[in-house]
Every structure is written in C-alpha cells, then in structure tokens.
A and B are shown apart, each in its own frame.
Chain A
Amino acid sequence: MNLRSAVARLLALFRKGNLDRELEDEVRAHLELAERDAIARGLTPEEARQAARRSFGGIEQMKEDHRDHRSVRWMENLLRDFRYGMASLARDPGFATVTIGLLALGIGANTAMFSIVDAVLLKPLPFPEPERMVRVWEAPPHSLPNNTTTLTFLDWKRQDTIFEALSVERPTRAAVGTGGDPERLSGKLVSADYFKVFGVKPRIGRTFAPGEDQPGAAPVVVLSYSFWQTRFGGDPDVLKRDLALDGEPHRIIGVLPAGSFDRDEAGFWKPLIFTPDQLNRIQHVLAVVGRLRSGVSLEQARAKMSMLRASLAGVMPSWKKDWGFAVEPFAQRLVGDTLRRSIYLAFGAVLMVLLIACANVANLVLAKGATRRKEMALRAALGASRGRLIGQLLTESLVLCLLGGAAGVAVAYLLLHAAAPLVAASLPFTADLSLDLRVLGFAAAAAMAVLILAGLFPSWRTSFSKLSSSLNQAARGSSGSSAAVRRTIVIGEVAASVVLICGAALLFKSLAKLQQVDAGVRIDHVITMSADLPSTAYPAPESAARFYEAVVQRLRAVPGVEQASVSQTLPLQGVGWGEGMSLPGVTKGFNVGLKLVDPWYFGTLQIPLESGRGIEDRDRAGAPPVVVINQELARHLSSTLGIANPVGRTVGIDVPGYGPIPESVVNVQIVGVIRSERTGALHAPQGRAAYMPLTQVPQQDIKLVVRTESEPLAVMSGIREAVRQVDPHLPLGDVRTMEQVKERSMLWAKQPTWVVGAFAGVAALLAALGLYGVLAHAVTQQRREIGIRMALGARPGDVLSYVLRSAFSMLIVGLAVGLAGAFALTRVLKSLLFKVSALDPVALSVACGLMTLVGILAAWVPASRAARVDPMTVLRDEG
C-alpha cells in the first residue's frame, strides 16, 4: 500500500456515510441502465429487472467488498465498537456515571498529585542550564554548612575561573508605602550579579549593573512581576517612578518576568552594599549563590575552592582552622527531606486509591459482563471470533477510560486550584504547579494503565463463555467462578484500604501527641505581630530601646489588653543557630539559644519563675547586664559543670550587634531560672535557652506579644492605633494569634496527615462501594434461593445474618491481608511519626475497627433487602 492510498483509506474512514451513499447511487444508476438496455433487447420490464440484477451479482456482498477495498478494516471495526460502546453506556447511564466518576476521581487525584511530584522533584529548575547553579558555603566539620563573611565572600568572588557569577542573598524587610498605610514587605539584598546567577532577563527595564553594589552607588530596586502588578497596577511607566523602602526612595530599574520569582516570598531586590566597617571575617551572615563557568564541573570547582581555602589559612580566625568551603548544586537544599518524604507518601497513597478505583471498575465491568454472557455467546455462535469479541469489550472499556481520563483531567484541574494556595507555602519557589504536557501525558498513561488493569481481564473472562452453557443457563444462580473473582477483588480493595487507614491512623495519633505537647506558654488570648525598626528612623540602640518602652505603655492602655511585651523571637519559632556561652575558667564553651526579651515577656506568656528573679525594668542599658536561663540550661550547668545553684554566677555570652555594631562577648550575671517554654518546634527536644534584656541588647527585628481579655483579633484595631501613636510610619506584619503560631509550627506534620487521611477516607468509601456492589449483585442473583429458604422456614433474621456473614468473611480476609501489608509498609512513616511506633497497636486496631464498621454498613443495605424478600412473589415470578 503506498502512502497515497493509505491516506485515502484513512480519509475514507471518516467519509463512510458519504461513500456508502455514493455507491448506493451508482448501483441504482447501473441497474437502471442495465434494465433500459434489456428492455431495448425486447424483454418485459419484470424480466429486464431480473436480468439486470443477475448480471450485477450479489449487491450486499459487493458493498462489503467495496468497504474492504477502500478502507482499513480493523479501524472501521474499532470505530464501530467505539460507537457501540458509547451507545451501550448511554443505555446504562447509572453504570456509566459510577464508573466514569470512579475513574475521574482516581485519575484526577493522581494527576494532581503527579503535577506536584513533577514540579518539586522531577522537572529541572526553570532556569537556563540549572546544573551550573550552585550554593557556596563555609563548611564546619561534621555539621550543617554555614553562611560566610563579607571578606571571605569577596575572596570567592575573585575566583572568576570558577564562577561566572556569584552573589550574596540575604532576606530583608522594608516598610513600603505606595499610597495608604505602610506595609512590611519581604525583599532580598543581593549582589549585582544575582540575576546572572539565575540567568533571568527582566521583563521591562534592566537588572543590576556591575558597580551598583559598591559604596556610593545610587539606590535602585528590581521588582517581581506580581509586586509590579499588585502595587503599581502593571503601570508601564513604572521605570520612571521611585519605590520608598523604609522612607528612602529607590529608583525602579526593572521588573522580572512572571513565574518562579512570583512564588518567592520576596517582592523586591536591592543591592547589598558592604560598608568599610562591615568588612570582616567574623559575622557569618551571607548566603551565597553562584553560576559555574561553562565547562567547570562541580568537582573542579570544589577542588579549586579547597586550594583557595588552604591559601587563606593565614587570614582565617584560628578557631575556624578545620572549616572548609563547600560547593553544592543549587537544587540540593531546595527540597527538604520532610517535604520529599511527604510528597512520596501522598503519591503512594493516591496510587493506592487509583488501584482501588480500578478494582471497583473491573468489578463493575465484570458484573455487567456476567449479564452479557448470552449476548457474547450468541455473537460467537454467529461467527464472531474470540479476538473480535475481546476487541469489542476492550473498546468499550477504552471508551470508559477515555471519558474517565478526560473527566479526571478536569478533576485534577479543580484539585490543583483548590490545593495550590494551601500547599504553596510548603513548596520551593521553583515549583510551578500546572497541567502541562508532561502532566497530561501522565494522565493518559494512567488511563491506559486503568484500561489494562480494569478492562483486559474482564474482557477476557466475559468473552470466555461456552456457547451451550451460556445459552442454556437461565439468568438466575450466580455463575460461580465469576462471583469468586469478584469477591477476591473486593478482598484486595479492603486490604489496600486497611493499609491506608492504618497509615492515616498512625499519622493522626502522632499529630494528636504533637498537639498535646505542652508549649510552656499561654496559647489562648494571645496575639503576636512583627515589626522591623528601620535604620533611618532608629539609627542607635537607644532609640530602639525608647520605642520598646513607649509601645508597651501604649499597648497596655488599649481597652481589652491585659498585658503586652516586646521580644526578639516568639515561642515555637526557633532561636536561630545559637550563641556561644562560656564560664570563666572553663575553656570549652557550649551553644545556647539566646532570646532577647523585655521585662514583661514572661508575664505576658505566663512563663513561671523557678528561682531567682526575672528580667526587670531596672535592667536597662548601662545597668549591669543580666541573664535568665531556662531549666534545661540549669540542668546542663549542674550535670556537666557541677553548678547546683546557677543564680549569681557570671557567664560569658556572644551577643549580637545592632545595625553596623558587631557582635561581642559580654560577661553577664545569671539572676534567675524560668520554667522552660518551647523555644523551637514541638517535636524537637527542648534546647538550652538564655534570656537577656532587650533594652541591653536592642534589636531592629522585633515581635510584639499582647495578651487580651477577650477574642484577640477584636482588639487588633486598637493595637494598630497604639503602635501608630508611637510611630506612624511603622507597619506591622505577620499578625497571628498564638494558636495560629502553634498551628503553623505543626504544618509539616499536618499536611501529610490530612492528605493521607483524605485518601484513606476515599479508599474506604471505594472499598465499601465494591463490597456493596458484590453483595447487592449476589442478593439479586440469589433471590430465588433466598425465597426457597424462607419458604422452608428461614426467618428474616437468618437471611440477614447469612448475607452479613458473607460480607464478614470477605472483610476478615481483607483485614488480615491489609494488616500484613500495613506491617510491611508503615515503616516508611517512621520519620514522620512523633512518639508513636509504626506498629502502634491502638492505631492499628482503630483502623481495623473503622474498616469493619464501614464494611458492615455497606453490607447492611443488601442484607436487609435480602431479608425483605417475599418468598411468594419470588417463587411465582420465576417458578
């Protein structure tokens, strides 16, 4: 067959109706002409018509021949089966709705989940040549990599044989007033090379020019696309305008393209300029991103950086003599272990749901097939080949899968739109959740997999029917082998659901344990917010200290406020990397979490004092520096250093600077011990913490903590007004109740728990549906048998328990198999579980109980229907 006729044949498929009609016309004309000639030869009209027909030959046979010649036979069959499949679905809308709904659910949830897996774990980063993008760190031995210092960064920057571009990256906040109240917004301080690292070209304007990160350069800023849209309404003349950051005008030089940078928390980028007094090798505050020169491998870069480190040995502080330099791929730290595990877990769970949905569909198709055995046997008797019958049944399944897949894509779209805002904060900024071609390809693959799982086997079974037995068999007693297969499928469904429910039960128990952890602070009726004192308005530590005092006084005067305080950090949010603490005469120091709080912090959060005193109003700048420690630190001092009563002791502690003032070591006196609050996450062991007066170590980045008499959010307007009275230009950010702060600290555990929980719920529902379907079918098939039993004296209760027993036997086997699966699989949850064993007996029993309950409920409907069978009616109907 050459190309031309192949094309013609394919086209003929779609012009079938036309071609048939044309042929019909030709045949009619032919016969007329033949008759006319025959009449001309002297035959009567009747004889002429017969003669014309005779010499034409078999018309129908010719037509078949014509179709064979002009077209592709198997495709024509396929199309016919396709139409037939559609028609048979339309005849049974209940079956069609249920199966397509099941498939849409299964395929849709999987497609949505895959789009997350793809965006977070599979797709390359959305930047040119992402393999050349790196992060560069200082690397202490046996520890997490560390930020670097200004001078060391400048040493790296000179390595232009390794890096094409190298930039620092430091989060910042600024009060932004583009009309209306000022707001605190996130941005980043970066080097001029920053956007060269990402290979991003601006949408309008330009990005930073070399030299714009040097002292004396005019202040400039680059905006993200969404910042431009929301703050400037997409104004095309934005480049002629200034953006005031903390009151200081910055010329807007460019806007980034829409995409990844809109998902970053930062909305603006401005150059980080090192002033001469910042140039040191002490303050480790710079995170560094870079782009390798093309052709430089990661190994070469690492080797050259270690050589550099060796050559710098003379200038590095002696305590850092064991530190190296680390170069790692940019993508490496983008996705944390917990997120990766959560995503795999959720994907595994949703695959399980798809399998169960498949099993349900297979079951439905089988049940439908059982009622069609006669039709199949008849078609076989009329000469249809076995392959042709399987082909027809498979095509019908194909129709189901295509419709289910299409509906699944719609479901995935809806799911993604609903879920994206909820999960976006947990995903890296590079993750673009969208239904692109890769995701649609996955949906198609899933639909095909369903076709094979849910279509092939039932087609094979349904077509495999003996003519004699099927045609003779009256449609009453259930055909044994098919019923056994369907029961096995239901057992599989129950087992898979049990695995999921066990997982969900463990996760929920772990979440409950987490929630029960005592945070050590008052959680209810407390509201928190953050503020950032700009250097322009608060250049000196004294001005900041004045602000703390003034703001607390104003806040306390607000009606509805019980107590207010200022602190550097909130409970549960961590205390940073920790600071060094040392005792005089003891050479080896240790790390403590340092919290800077005002005199009212302990009172506001109701943290009780164990001994000594708390921080008081007299502990001001100029007064002798003091520190209050928590129980953990007191325990550490007594166990490792033998200090039974720490109050009154003097310790040395690294305290952070203020603005350009560098950090320093201060000798402070321990004045009290408080009962521990949770400084960090609830699941982590409580760390050692030390509290110093905020007025003695002022900070620009602060939190306000306010305890209220009633619903805290109702007092918010009064709180805002009080802050405005102290500083009308200071915006408040992150307004959250302490309850919300606690919830957020558990997000890592909550998200996978609810996702797995939702999937487990769906799985249980589907398994129940499968169980219901099989039992309902069996009851319908066995009406006669039940009728006879009842006629012979069985009571409705006996029938009820008979059906329930049959359900129970399936459930028990399913539970056993499922538990075995759970034993094998819950191990993967270990890292996500808090104080719950992966084989926790309570959680597993609850899971089994739930599944049994759902199963019994599903069985109840067909069982009670069986019990209501009226023997007289049944026996008369089918007798």
Chain B
Amino acid sequence: MSENKTEVPYGTLDLLILKTLETIGPMHGYRIARRIEQVAENLLRLNQGSIYPALIRLEQQGWIRTQWGISETKRKVKFYSLTKAGSKQLSVEVANWERATALVARFLEAES
C-alpha cells in the first residue's frame, strides 16, 4: 500500500457513486467499487465495503433504485441504477462540489 493514497474526501462518496452510475448504467456493488478505484487510478484508499452503507442511504433517499440480477459468479445480487431524482441530485452535487473547490482554490491562490 503506497503512502500517497488519500481517504475518500468527506461527503464525496455519494457523488462518486451517483456519477459512476450515470456514466456506466446499472451495475452491482462490486462493479461500482472497482469502477471508482479504476477511475481514481490507485490515488484513493477505498474500503470497498464502505459503499454499501452509502448505497442504502442513497436508495432510501430515492436517488437510486435496485433490481435483483445474477452476478458473473452466478449469484443473486442487487443491481443499482440511477433514478430521475438521482440524476437531478447528481447535478446539484456536482454544482456544489465545483463551487466548493472553486472557493477553496481561490483562497489558496490568495495565500500564495
């Protein structure tokens, strides 16, 4: 494990999951976790298990929905996909994120 991996920034896991589901479409939990790791290209230290509490929360908010399907190992698993409310929420979160990073960036520039 390399030391320069970072934890998932606080509150961004929801955003990462929603974005992943928007880009690829319906998939099961393991695929979501792997996809996040791949995109992060080993920059991120993700406990794969931590996506499940996030998934149930997103489902309860009505932003993603689940369907039962069969995994590559022939097991019954849940497939997650984005709902209409979910894609709306995603654009809100993206906008929030961009505003936040822009704000932090401006402070950092001003410091230097």
Q: Is the CB of A56 within 8 A of B49?
A: yes
Categorize the interface residue count of chain A.
Answer: 20 to 34
- Bound-state CA distance A8–B73 (Å) is 31
Q: Is the CB of A2 within 8 A of B75?
A: no
Q: Is the CB of A4 within 8 A of B61?
A: yes
Cβ of A25 < 8 Å from any Cβ of B?
Answer: yes
> Which chain A residues lie closer than 8 Å to B54 at the CB level?
69
Chain B residues numbered 27-83 whose CB sits less than 8 Å from any CB in chain A: 28-31, 33-34, 46-50, 52-54, 56-57, 59-62, 71-73, 75-78
Chain A residues numbered 86-131 whose CB sits less than 8 Å from any CB in chain B: none
Cβ of A374 < 8 Å from any Cβ of B?
Answer: no
With beta carbons under 8 angstroms apart, the residue of A4, A28, A37, A58 that contacts B47 is A58
Binds B, one of A60-68, A385-393, A651-659: A60-68
Minimum CB distance partner of B77 in chain A = A29
With beta carbons under 8 angstroms apart, the residue of A19, A26, A59, A65 that contacts B77 is A26
Q: Is the CB of A70 within 8 A of B49?
A: no
Q: Is the CB of B48 within 8 A of A33?
A: no
Query: Least Cβ distance of B88 to chain A in Å?
Result: 14
Cβ of A27 < 8 Å from any Cβ of B?
Answer: yes
- Bound-state CA distance A56–B30 (Å) is 10
Q: Is the CB of A34 within 8 A of B30?
A: yes
With beta carbons under 8 angstroms apart, the residue of A2, A29, A56 that contacts B71 is A29
> Which chain A residues lie closer than 8 Å to B73 at the CB level?
29, 32-33, 36
> Which chain B residues lie closer than 8 Å to A19 at the CB level?
56
With beta carbons under 8 angstroms apart, the residue of A32, A58, A66 that contacts B56 is A66
Q: Is the CB of B52 within 8 A of A23?
A: yes
Total cross-chain contacts (CB, 8 A): 85
Q: Is the CB of A22 within 8 A of B78?
A: yes
Q: Is the CB of B57 within 8 A of A70?
A: yes
With beta carbons under 8 angstroms apart, the residue of B48, B56, B61 that contacts A55 is B48
> Which chain B residues lie closer than 8 Å to A59 at the CB level?
49
- Bound-state CA distance A36–B34 (Å) is 13
With beta carbons under 8 angstroms apart, the residue of A23, A29, A62 that contacts B30 is A29
- Bound-state CA distance A12–B61 (Å) is 13
Given A22-B78, A26-B77, A70-B57, A57 and B48 contact (CB-CB distance below 8 Å)? yes
Interface string of A453-491 (1 = CB under 8 A from B): 000000000000000000000000000000000000000
Query: Least Cβ distance of B57 to chain A in Å?
Result: 5
- Bound-state CA distance A70–B56 (Å) is 6
Q: Is the CB of B60 within 8 A of A25?
A: no
> Which chain B residues lie closer than 8 Å to A30 at the CB level?
29-30, 33, 48-49
Minimum CB distance partner of A12 in chain B = B60
With beta carbons under 8 angstroms apart, the residue of A29, A32, A69 that contacts B53 is A69
> Which chain A residues lie closer than 8 Å to B62 at the CB level?
4-5
> Which chain B residues lie closer than 8 Å to A678 at the CB level?
none
> Which chain A residues lie closer than 8 Å to B29 at the CB level?
26, 29-30
Q: Is the CB of B49 within 8 A of A57?
A: yes
Cβ of A9 < 8 Å from any Cβ of B?
Answer: yes
Chain A residues numbered 20-49 whose CB sits less than 8 Å from any CB in chain B: 22-23, 25-30, 32-34, 36-37
A29, A36, A56: most-surrounded residue (chain B CB, <10 A): A29
Minimum CB distance partner of A57 in chain B = B47
Known: A25-B77, A29-B75, A32-B71. 17 other contacts (CB 8 A): A5-B60, A8-B60, A28-B75, A29-B30, A29-B71, A32-B75, A33-B28, A33-B73, A37-B34, A55-B48, A56-B49, A57-B48, A59-B49, A62-B47, A62-B50, A65-B53, A69-B53
Q: Which 7 A-B pairs have the closest CB atoms?
A: A57-B47, A8-B60, A62-B49, A33-B30, A69-B53, A65-B53, A29-B77
List the interface of chain A (C-beta within 8 A of B): 2, 4-5, 8-9, 12, 19, 22-23, 25-30, 32-34, 36-37, 55-59, 62, 65-66, 68-70
- 12 A-B residue pairings within 8 Å (CB atoms): A5-B57, A9-B60, A25-B75, A26-B28, A32-B73, A33-B30, A55-B47, A62-B47, A62-B53, A66-B56, A68-B53, A69-B53
